[in-house]
Amino acid sequence: MANMRVKMEVGSDGVAVIKIVNPPVNALAPPILAWLKEKYAEAMRRDDVKAIVLTGEGGRFSGGFDINVFQLIHKTGDMTALPDVSVELVLNTIEEGKKPSVAAIEGLALGGGLELALGCHARIAAPKTQLGLPELTLGVIPGFGGTQRLPRLVGTSKAVEMMLFSKPIMSEEGKNLGLIDAVVSSNELLKVARSWALDIAKRRKPWISSLQRTDKLGSLSEAREILKVARQQAKTTAPNMPQHQACLNAIEEGVVFGGYAGVLKEEKLFKQVVLSNTSKGLVHAFFAQRTAPKVPNVTDIGLKPRPVKKVAVIGGGLMGSGIATALLLSNISVVLKEINAEYLQKGMKTIQANLQGLVARGKLTLDKAQKALSVLKGVLDYSEFKTVDMVIEAVIENISLKQSIFSELEKACPAHCILATNTSTIDLNVVGEKTSSKDRIIGAHFFSPAHVMPLLEIVRTHKTSPQVILDLMTVGKIIKKVPVVVGNCTGFAVNRTFFPYTQGAHILANLGVDIFRIDRVISSFGMPIGPFQLQDLAGYGVAVAVGKEFATAFPDRTFRSPLVDLLIKNGRNGKNNGKGYYIYEKGSKPKPDPSVLPIIKESVRLANIAPGGKPVSLSDQEILEMVLFPVVNEACRVLDEGIVVRASDLDVASILGMSFPSYCGGIVFWADLVGPSHIYNSLKKWSEEYGGFFKPSKFLEDRATKGIPLSAPTSMAQPSRARM
């Protein structure tokens, strides 16, 4: 609150410059909006004011409405926290005011920020200013009239694209579209905006109210056709997101019944969607991602990150080459080590192909790709390792191989070098067992493909130094990953939480439930693909190796499905050889393979878990819950053992690492919405029917019976049992 204010200065030319001050992005917090109204009222009253320029302090117009207000509404359900901006401020005060307003925009005008500017009578922008309405990413719709004014300025089709895809544009494109009246240098911005405002006041330039315009909307039938196509598209791409259809409803209302009716409809729809579970989930995910980098005793003790300029990657397979690509893209030099020339050549070619793929998709320029390759060096021994700042080992999941590599690294690398492993399941204490530099050992767990997936799971042991954790977090941010720091155990936070996901699906398959139906149910819920297609994608070798790790670590809750072994015996290896549960043909989508059904039938016979030997009959809802509730159950154990700093870190990790739908807010947040007692009672019932795999954890039982949310912090009185 201390730095938050709205300033007004009236110049000798009779122009009042009203400036929003709320660093860093001039967010429109309720006090700012109230002060804006006051300053506008004063400017309208004063005889020495002829026109108004609205702008933002510090080279930024406004990043939009203060999202903390949404969080408050979600916690309390109190809608009075929402100020009346759309009608009171934007429509009645700015747009219908007796003195003209011009927005002087620099840096960014997003969400509510752009909507304020749309209410002005002209918009002057500095070059490369970002303009957009990204509200749908938070489960809401534009609420200050954006669904009405944007289509009237840029046309229905472009406005729909900008809102539905939350796709910002630059001021230069805005000028071509008619959203921006002039693009001028930052130095000239205020001067041009002032004279433009005076020209409108003196009628030398047109006094235009965006809401009254209809020339860009096209005919009613054209607009309706655009909206119809957009509705169909949204049903396909965002079936579980009500805000998309609400946004289109608001636009349509304005097209059919006029701008004022549209503004009222938008306001009504906004109040509905802001209370939806989708908005709750997306807003939670937004804040959770911003909280994850705050790690007690690491980021709050005054340490400074050390520069990491050169990294060695051991292993040029799928993961190693992906990690190397991610580093090269951020100008970090990479030494790639392999055991022989053939493997090294293959790894180098994969990195090249990764970069070429990005160029082909327009995500990278050819220049940058060539620059990235120029700082890559392939080696077959450790001689180059004496100048590296970090090593990331990315070889196969073999304990003795990893142990011998780490013993060699200790001799080959400088004393400050960070020793990281990309293991996805093996306990770090075991990996570093034969070294004396245990304070330098850390897990850098990337998700495949490593240069695309956004999560970096940073695994610490109780001996890893805070400096090493901070350094790896910093590298994570440099290579545009979201680092989440977790404790050390088999599978760490993400893979451990989600190991029951495939297990639950296999139990259902062996109870006689159609595997393609299971995949459909899970995809409809919002996962990108179902558990069986995911297994096809990862390859069955991974399933077997990971299965063994978890069976050793958690024998009491591991279900040994005969299915994968039967598939391997049948010569199948999923997508790798084009034969799995699905058929994989080049250029077409995976199709269910009917020839897999006899193999599944044999698995059902061998597993012998179906009551009375007959397939069970379940609803889609029961299928969803039998796959996901065991995941929640394991998440409870992860929370109980203090493997994550806070429940929201597990939410972030589940969204970014497992593609759990962001509109559900993450695995723990979703579980709280569903209700811990329903989850507990269901698991208890299934454990009696189908065995110990479903047995509810002590933590879940405790929370469910006491009515405490799963996300509530664990009591400080209870010492963490994590092997941090």
Q: So which residues are the catalytic ones? A: 115, 135
Identify which of 126, 236, 229 has the alpha carbon closest to the alpha carbon of residue 187.
126
By the 8 A CB rule, do 555 and 631 touch?
no
> DSSP state, 365?
-
By the 8 A CB rule, do 39 and 18 touch?
yes
Burial of 260 (C-beta count, 10 Å sphere; 0-12/13-18/19+): middle
The maximal CA–CA distance of the chain, rounded, in angstroms, is: 91
The single-letter code of the amino acid at 149 is R
CA distance 195 to 497: 61
Mention every residue, 6+ apart, whose C-beta is less than 8 A from residue 622. none
Identify any residues that bridge with 106 across adjacent strands, giving them in sequence order.
none
Tokens 């200065």, residue? 9
How far, in whole angstroms, is CA 368 from its chain's centroid?
26
Burial of 300 (C-beta count, 10 Å sphere; 0-12/13-18/19+): exposed
* Peptide bond connecting 449 to the previous residue in cis, omega within 30 degrees of 0: yes
CA distance 708 to 706: 6
CA distance 293 to 258: 46
Exposure string for 540-550, b = 16+ CB within 10 A, e = fewer: bebbeebbebb
By the 8 A CB rule, do 387 and 333 touch?
no
> DSSP state, 574?
B
